[in-house]
Amino acid sequence: MACLTKEKGRLYRIHWKFQVRVGPRTGETVEGSLQLGRCTRAAARTRLREIENWEEAVKTGRHLPDTSWDDVFALWVRERELTYTPQSLARAQRVVSLYRRWREARDLPCQTVEQVANRQDLTAWRNHRLDHEAGRKTVANDFATLSALFG
C-alpha cells in the first residue's frame, strides 16, 4: 500500500510497503520511499497513482515478461471470488475467452500479459464487436471487464 505525506512547505514523500504474490519473489516484502521535490498536491497524487500501478503490477506478476495472461486471469479470479458473484466471474471468463479467440484469429501474440493488454488491441476488439457482434451496452460491459483485468 502506498501513501502520500506532506513535509515542509510544498515537499511530499511517498511511502510503500507490500508483499509480492507471484513470480520468483513470492512472499517477499517490498518497501520504499520517494522524496518528491517542490510540487503541487495534484502532481504528487499523480506520482502516487503511478507508484500504486507499479505496486499492483509487481504484486500480481504483470511486470514479469514471462507471466502468462492465463495465470494473471486465474489470480484475478481468486482475488475476487469473495466479492464477485459466480455469474460475474463466469461473465469475466467468457469475455476473456472471446478476446483471446479474436486475437488468435488475427494471429496477434497472446503469450504474455504485455502483449495482450495492449490498449490499441483492446479498442480494436471493442470496435469489431460493436460493428459485427453485439450491442453497445454488452460491448461496454465486456470492455469494462477487460479493463478491470488488465488495469
Residue-averaged pLDDT of the chain: 75
Helix (H, G, I), strand (E, B) or coil at 66: coil
For range 25-33, the mean pLDDT: 73
The predicted structure's pLDDT at residue 67: 60
Task: Tell me phi and psi for residue 107, to 5 degrees.
Answer: 55, 35
The closest alpha carbon to 7, from 54, 41, 51, 30, belongs to 41
| 133, pLDDT greater than 80 | no
Q: In what order do the strands lie in the sheet with 11-19?
A: 2-6, 11-19, 29-38
Q: What is the DSSP string of 43-54?
A: HHHHHHHHHHHH
Residue 112 near residue 23, CB atoms below 8 Å: no
For range 16-41, the mean pLDDT: 72
For the chain, the helix, strand and coil percentages under 3-state DSSP, each to the nearest 5: 55, 15, 30
101's grid cell = 479467440
- The reported pTM is 0.52
Helix (H, G, I), strand (E, B) or coil at 7: coil
